[in-house]
Amino acid sequence: MISYRSLVRMGQVGLLVVVACCGICNGAITWNIEFEDVTNNTNVGFDDPVLGAVRRNTFLSVFGYLNTILDENGTADILVRSSQTDGSGFLASAGPYFWNSPNGFQNGFVFDHATTGSDPSGSVPDATVRFDFGYTWNSETDDPTGSEYDLVSVALHEIGHTLGFLSLVDANGKSVISGTDPGVFSVYDSFLERGDGTKLFGAGGDYLGTPADLTSNDVFFGGPNAKAANGGSSVKVYAPGAFAQGSSISHIQLGIGEVMQYSIGKGVKRRTLLDQEIGILADIGWTIAGSNAPIPEPASVAVWSVLVLAGMVLQRRRAERQRRSESERCG
């Protein structure tokens, strides 16, 4: 089993050139996807001479599926960072950007852009994703073999984090964004509670629990839609005895094939969000379309193009506007 990691980032950092994009045709949200592997001609990952195009289309199929779930009319800009190839860490990591103030609860830039149609910050993407292709992957949409990790399943999981399905709390109850308590936390955090129903967060973005609560194996998501989908019970959250930033609290623990579980094994396929997971998305503010069809084949949902010239122009314009170095806070 290999663990996932969610990332959280503060706003106002540099953005690389846009050289690739896709248009998803069967839903309301317009997803603009950029691949740094293609930008930088890395010849690995999503730019692999043999598997690159297949991997890109497989990745894009996730957004066609999400457009059967999410009933929104805006846009989201996703940057797929240069692939890792060492096969020694997380399978993948992802997360949206957040503002580092004011204190309270946010869903991140993907939610803001997709639900309002207004770009939170034109100087940064709404979220970033990174994969490690040093592992053996099932790069297509058929079933993975017993030696492969399923790209569709992992991609759906990571994009789930960019939608706001993640926690911003650190091991001490402070915000990983603002470094404070009260601080900037996720809307997801606002629904966290102990097994007895005691809320872990106050309305102003203040952590009401103790550090021990976060490693108690007794943390639940208590949103009304998630509870309704879970037979009236709160949904158990991953809170192991040793706190792991980016894994603890940011995942659920039902044991019934959930996409947002904290790890995945070889040969495992999780390509459909459970009703409990869709309930969590509804609770944090997404409008749900009501359909939960299987992920379709890429050819039926995505149009892929490489816009090198447009990307070069955009790069020059953005370079003129800002020369900021990138700053990340990873969880």
Query: Contact at 8 Å (CB) between 330 and 8?
Result: yes
Q: Give residue-wise pLDDT tens across range 161-214.
A: 999 999 999 999 999 999 999 999 999 999 999 999 999 999 999 999 999 999
Query: What is the reported pLDDT for 215?
Result: 98
Average pLDDT over every residue of 134-141: 97
> Rounded to whole angstroms, how far apart are CA atoms 165 and 285?
11
Query: What is the reported pLDDT for 211?
Result: 98
> For the chain, what are the domain ranges?
2-168+267-330
Banded model confidence at residue 294, pLDDT cuts 50, 70, 90: low
| Cα radius of gyration (the chain) | 19
Query: Percent of the chain, pLDDT > 70?
Result: 80
Query: What is the reported pLDDT for 142?
Result: 95
> Rounded to whole angstroms, how far apart are CA atoms 55 and 316?
29
Q: Give residue-wise pLDDT tens across range 17-39.
A: 222 333 443 458 999 999 999 99
Q: Give residue-wise pLDDT tens across range 227-254.
A: 999 999 999 999 999 999 999 999 999 9
Query: Percent of the chain, pLDDT > 90?
Result: 77
